[in-house]
């Protein structure tokens, strides 16, 4: 299950999570989790009727995969104009490098996503956002 201290199999509840009023992000892969060097990622839970505000990740691309729930995803095009689509389970969203984007859960239940950042690191800036709280593993 591990190689030189690296974990290959990680459940979201086994790692600390980033908590916000809109939901949480549990990083399950990345330099600080298991030594991944070229990307990081994790499971995002978005509460019903909530979402994260428009933001970007300077110098990084992002992949968003919708596991469950339904929502409205916005990604700005190369001219800075918002492109918005309804998304649901199985939808993959590509966010080009440094592009602004936002997610809103429009469903009645939780929305769960898996996100990947390349290169690793931009997710650490989330710690500086208002309302951030660290949710300890096993209690998230």
Tell me the per-residue pLDDT of 65-111, one tens digit each, with 9 for 90 and over: 999 999 999 999 999 999 999 999 999 999 999 999 999 999 999 99
Which domain, by its residues, includes 60?
14-135
Q: Is residue 140 part of a domain?
A: no
Taken as a whole, the chain contains a residue count of 140
100 lies in some domain: yes
Per-residue pLDDT, 122? 84
Banded pLDDT at 130 (limits 50, 70, 90): confident
Alpha carbon of 82 to those of 2, 66, 76, 98: distances in Å? 43, 19, 4, 14
pLDDT band of residue 7 (cuts 50, 70, 90) is confident
Q: What is the domain-level CATH number for residue 45?
A: 2.60.120.10
Q: What separation in angstroms does the CA of 133 have from each of 2, 34, 86, 127?
A: 29, 22, 29, 8
Model confidence at 6, in pLDDT bands (50, 70, 90)? low
Residue 2, pLDDT > 70, answer no
**Which structure tokens are listed for 136?**
């300890």
pLDDT score for 125: 84
Consecutive H or E run containing 50: none
β-bridge partners, 32: none
**pTM as predicted:** 0.91
Residue 18 is assigned to a structural domain of this protein: yes
How many structural domains are present in the chain? 1
* pLDDT higher than threshold 60 for residue 58: yes
- Whole-Å CA distances, 53 to 12, 22, 120: 23, 10, 21
pLDDT bucket at 48, cuts 50 / 70 / 90: very high
Judge whether 6 lies within some domain. Answer: no
Whether residue 5 is contained in a domain is answered as no
């Amino acid at each position: 299950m591990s190689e030189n201290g690296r974990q290959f199999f990680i459940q979201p509840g086994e790692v600390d999570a980033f908590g916000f009023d809109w939901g949480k992000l549990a990083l399950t892969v990345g330099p600080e989790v298991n030594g991944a060097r070229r990307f990081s990622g994790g499971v995002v839970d978005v509460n019903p009727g909530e979402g994260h505000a428009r933001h970007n990740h300077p110098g990084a691309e992002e992949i968003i995969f919708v596991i469950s729930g339904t929502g409205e995803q916005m990604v700005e095009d190369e001219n800075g104009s918002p492109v918005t689509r309804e998304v649901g389970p199985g939808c993959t969203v590509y966010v080009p490098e440094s592009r602004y984007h936002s997610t809103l859960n429009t469903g009645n239940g939780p929305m769960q996503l898996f996100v990947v950042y390349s290169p690793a690191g931009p997710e650490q800036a989330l710690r500086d956002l208002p309302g951030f709280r660290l949710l300890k593993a096993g209690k998230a």
